[in-house]
Amino acid sequence: MTDRRSAELINSSERGETFLRLANGQLHSSYRLARAILRDPAEAEDATHDAFVRAWQKWSTLRDPQRFEQWFERILVNTCRDRLRSARMRVPDISHEITQAPGDAFARANDREVVANALATLSPEQRVVVALRYYRDLPVDEIASRLDIPAGTVHSRLHYALKRLHAAIGTADDKGIAR
């Protein structure tokens, strides 16, 4: 084996190890973000897996491994957005996952159901910014940077998403559904 070929194999092995180390560090938080966006455990698992595959395929495009988290999160968000837009994505019934609160056995379950139904009314773009803002607790400027959109667009999407959420939750209240 030539010295050049040996060096290529060592570099390839080191790159693979670096990717695995960085990816493993992001696995749990990535799944939680995908779950917050997609609301379905199986879809979130599939989206997380697909995002890691895409990241590995595009690994050579990452210039700074220190920015892996932001780079990968963008891939994951785009993967989730694609799934939300696809015709086969539907809003799941999460009632079996809800635990009952002591004292009022149904209040917490009803709250989660109302919020889940309200989130289902959002567009994919709105759901993504809501998840990044309120689940990841990212500031608007950071969301704009990660999605490569203007901060004003993030503000607008959040504004209309919150307006839609308030309306959906208000409608649930009007129908006598406990919150």
Cα 58–59–62 angle (5° rounding)?
Answer: 100
Looking at the chain, which residues constitute the CATH 1.10.1740.10 domain(s)?
1-92
Q: List the helix and strand counts (H, then E) for the chain.
A: 7, 0
**Whole-number pLDDT of residue 61:** 87
**Whole-number pLDDT of residue 3:** 53
Beta-carbon contacts of 53 under 8 Å, excluding residues fewer than 6 positions away, are none
Q: 2.40.160.20, 3.40.50.1820, 1.10.10.10, 1.10.150.80: which CATH number matches 95-179?
A: 1.10.10.10
The b/e string for 125-159 (b: 16+ C-beta within 10 A; e otherwise) is: bbbbbbbbbeeeebebebbbebbeeeeeebeebbe
> Which of 100, 111, 94, 98 shows the shortest CA–CA distance to 178?
111
Helix, strand, coil percentages, rounded to 5, for the chain = 75, 0, 25
Average pLDDT over residues 17-32: 87
pLDDT digits 0-9 by tens, 86-105:
744 454 444 444 444 455 55
Task: Record the tokens describing residue 60, joined without a space.
Answer: 């050579």
CATH code of the domain occupying 1-92: 1.10.1740.10
**Whole-number pLDDT of residue 78:** 92
Looking at the chain, which residues constitute the CATH 1.10.10.10 domain(s)?
95-179
- Evaluated on CA atoms 148, 154, 156, 160, the torsion sign reads positive
Task: Record the tokens describing residue 106, joined without a space.
Answer: 């149904």
Average pLDDT over residues 2-31: 72
pTM of the prediction? 0.60
Is it the case that residue 177 has pLDDT exceeding 70? no
**Whole-number pLDDT of residue 144:** 92
Q: Where are the alpha helices (DSSP H) in 58-123?
A: 68-85, 107-120
